[in-house]
Amino acid sequence: MRDAFHDELDAIGQSLVDMSQLASAAMLRATKAILEADLSVAEEVISEDERIDALHHDLDTRILNLMARQQPVAGDLRTLVASIRMSSDIERMGDLAHHVAKLARMRFPACAVPPELVFIIQEMGEVAQRIVLKTTGVITSRDTLAAVELEKDDDEMDKLHRKLFEILLDSNWAYGIETAIDMTLLGRYYERYADHAVSVARRVYFLVTGTYSSDFI
């Protein structure tokens, strides 16, 4: 029975990796949709979000059933509790990619991003990809040092977010209130996406050590 239980724990870990990979692909494609005004890609991201949601609900159900059947303690219980929280974080990451794609669709056929902001949104997309790929690796390896290092990547996202606001608040802003609101929301989507990815890494650290690192701010 213990072998079967640990097989189920391994399967839960793989499901988290699968969800993380889907969230990564979703934001990658959502960034393409928003920067290139690509409606077909935006629609794909929007429809694929249901797949992440379904995996999230299925995973939570499996974890709760396992907890009820096995009544785990100590490290096994910590793994299950951390996993259910990671599942929620990753599902939210998928939602944020979905929001980016919906903004691209709403402004189609125009490009939602003004030319002056393309470079910042592109960088935010690249940082988001770097963070989520590292997060996926942390879920697999349970490398606590790699988990802590993700905080540095999140700092880079925060800097880009602040830079975006500086441009939006500049007196020379020429694109009106509606576009400023769009860009405020877009910057928030990327910033929160990165925050949720770091939250996953934080939970992996807790899963392995039983404590939260002071390196996570």
Span 152-210, pLDDT tens digits? 889 999 999 999 999 999 989 999 999 999 999 999 999 999 999 999 999 999 988 88
CB 188 within 8 A of CB 92: no
The single residue listed with the structure tokens 């995996």 is: 55
CB 42 within 8 A of CB 105: yes
Span 113-159, pLDDT tens digits? 999 999 999 999 999 999 999 999 999 999 999 999 998 889 999 99
CB 27 within 8 A of CB 132: yes
Pick the CATH number of 2-209 from 1.10.1060.10, 3.30.465.10, 3.40.190.80, 1.20.58.220: 1.20.58.220
